[in-house]
Amino acid sequence: MTSIKTVSILGAGQMGSGIAQAVALGGYEVRLYDVSAERSAGAQGVIGASLARRVARDVVDAASAEAALKRISIVSTLTEAAKADLVIEAISEQEAAKKAVLTELTPLLGPDTLLASNTSSISITRLASVTDRPERFIGLHFMKPAPVMKLVEIVRGIATSAQTYEAAVAFAESLGKTTTEAEDFPAFIVNRILAPMMNEAVYTLYEGVGDVASIDTALKLGANHPMGPLELADFMGLDVVLAIMNVLHEGLADTKYRPCPLLVKYVEAGWLGRKSGRGFYDYSGPTPAPTR
């Protein structure tokens, strides 16, 4: 098994940039690629600002932050991104889009390159099937925000080799993460439990059982959750929550996973949470304000 020294991240959004930061802090050379030149151009600034906040909080020392930032290179083509020991796909949570980029990437890879997806819900086996190396393909599901959250969910596809699994665990642990092994079922472990809870909170709002503030306060103080479920849904992105619920509903054919119509309506309106400025909360003012 080739040792991992260089890691490419496909996708320079919130997850991709966060993973790049965590991997660079772990001492790896990072190549960050995005189809959007605008996102790519802004990614290094976003990562730099995130590292500066961590230095200010004494979580990371200034020298380590500076060295990590220098390890991150922005690349403009998949050909450049393919020149790595490990490539982690971290684009939007849409199966067709993931398969398209993996199909385009595969012929560009070296024979020993490992492939991983940061998917939060989609079958690793299906994603691996469009590549030439299903035995060297694995799920590496970082939690959001990737530099802060300690867990990486490791998901094997049906063809993933034991060597690939061991390399993935060693890689994640080298970043200071704790790993859990999940079987390749829809949404794996974390989101199999978490997304239905958020969806049920939306149903609770939809049916008028409580308003946004009451629901989030109830779970924070009544169940000792650090964030309320609607606040958390906004943080994750309502489009991501809906995508996970659709994967669960379609993959398990159980009505308990039916996305709440109100969640669908918010996504159709473009109210995706924090990233769009409005979801179950309005983020335009100094303090998020409930929208219902």
What are the residue numbers of the active site? 120, 141, 153, 191
CB neighbour list of residue 188: distance below 8 Å, 6 or more residues apart: 120, 121, 139, 141, 153, 155, 182
Give the span between the Cα atoms of 112 and 92, in whole angstroms.
26
- Listed in sequence order, the DSSP H helices in 207-291 are 212-222, 229-236, 238-252, 261-268
- Please give the helix or strand (H or E) that residue 172 lies within, else none: helix 162-174
C-beta of residue 88 within 8 angstroms of C-beta of residue 112: no
Give the span between the Cα atoms of 215 and 212, in whole angstroms.
5
CA 136 remoteness from chain centre: 20
Question: Distances from the Cα of 142 to the Cαs of 18, 41, 135, 139, 283, in angstroms?
Answer: 9, 23, 21, 9, 25
Quote the DSSP letter at residue 102. H
C-beta of residue 49 within 8 angstroms of C-beta of residue 9: no
CB neighbour list of residue 281: distance below 8 Å, 6 or more residues apart: 212, 230, 231, 234, 273, 288, 289, 290, 291
> Coil, helix or strand for 181?
strand
CB neighbour list of residue 174: distance below 8 Å, 6 or more residues apart: 26, 27
